[in-house]
Amino acid sequence: MPARDSAATIDEQLGALAAQDYDGPWEVVVADNGSRDATVAVARAWTGRLPGLQVVDASARPGASFARNAGVAAATGDFLAFCDADDIVTPGWLSALVAAARDHDMVGGALDLATLNDDDSRAWTGWECPDDRLAPCQGFLLTVYGGTCGIWRSALEQVDGWDVDYRNHNDRELSWRVQSASLRLGFAPGAVVHYRMRSSLRVLLRKSYDDGQAAARLYAAYRAAGVPRSDTRRALRAWAGFVIHAPELAASRARRGVYLRRLGEHAGRAVGSMRHRVLYL
């Protein structure tokens, strides 16, 4: 579990891990990515209540990918399950991942967007999260969510771990790399996680901008493998729409969130296109 400044939420997640119904041996590794709050103290307070709990220092480089790799290095198991410090796993989460992994190299579960989020936050995302299958991203390969996934150590080592150069869409990048290596990706029914969305418009805008840059970078890396280019005309219409729909910033909070999420994503794609010398608007 990567964690950074998660003192307000990690206690709930660790409690949910303590309530897992998995009856085999397992351990919990929290990889602290340079927290400045009480994340480490809160996590260590669970010593004795969680199997094999370790809290490791993963502060040398910011990013969930670096923290996950640090957690993998500290873990001893052959199967690696990943969750995030601000979500809440359901009681059968680990059992479902393990069961699905019997026939696959990497598996992913489903996200529940309703339990931890208000109507405004759900309206912002524009996500469609199927609860019965994995879905493709960017019109390309299937993707697992980093907050509910599992992979055999041998498979992760085969593809050289999480890519630390991706701060956003790192789960998408790893999923694609796994499939490009002819490894088997599968869905884990029952591996459900209550996902916590961003509740700040400022954080939403920043994340959307970073997501847009990452999408352009993924296009640059995988276009030869078949990632379709974005619809340039549609993107230009979207930019015109930002001017036309600017009054929505003064409308409801939900509409402001949708506007800012789309604006951030398109701005990130434009900057990412210039940075990676592609056209992905």
pLDDT tens digits for 146-172? 999 999 999 999 999 999 999 999 999
CA distances from 148 to 130, 187, 193 (A): 14, 10, 6
Q: Which residues does 171 contact at the CB level (< 8 Å), separation at least 6?
A: 143, 144, 145, 146, 149
Residues 236-244 have a mean pLDDT of: 86
Quote the CA–CA distance of 272 and 281 in Å, as a whole number. 9
- Cβ–Cβ under 8 Å, residues 222 and 143: no
Pairing of strands 54-57, 29-32: parallel
What's the predicted TM-score (pTM) here?
Answer: 0.93
Q: Which of 21-25, 135-139, 183-187, 246-250 has the lowest mean pLDDT?
A: 246-250
- Cβ–Cβ under 8 Å, residues 121 and 128: no
pLDDT at 258: 86
pLDDT at 51: 95
Whether the pLDDT of residue 41 is over 80: the answer is yes
Q: Which two tokens stand for residue 130?
A: 């199927």
Residues 170-175 have a mean pLDDT of: 98
Q: Which two tokens stand for residue 2?
A: 């990567």
245 vs 76, residue with greater confidence: 76
Length in residues, the chain: 281
Q: Which two tokens stand for residue 47?
A: 């010593």
Whether the pLDDT of residue 257 is over 90: the answer is no
- Domains in the chain with CATH codes: 2-194 (3.90.550.10), 201-276 (no CATH)
Q: In this structure, how many other beta carbons lie within 10 angstroms of the beta carbon of residue 196?
A: 20
Quote the CA–CA distance of 261 and 205 in Å, as a whole number. 6
Rg (CA), the chain: 19
**Tokens 């210039």 sit at which residue?**
274
Residues 116-128 have a mean pLDDT of: 82
Residues 213-232 have a mean pLDDT of: 96
Q: In this structure, how many other beta carbons lie within 10 angstroms of the beta carbon of residue 99?
A: 16
pLDDT at 122: 83
Residues 70-86 have a mean pLDDT of: 97
Element (H, E) at 222: helix 201-222
User: Which band of pLDDT confidence, cut at 50, 70 and 90, is reported for residue 250?
Assistant: low
Quote the CA–CA distance of 178 and 184 in Å, as a whole number. 8
Element (H, E) at 188: strand 185-194
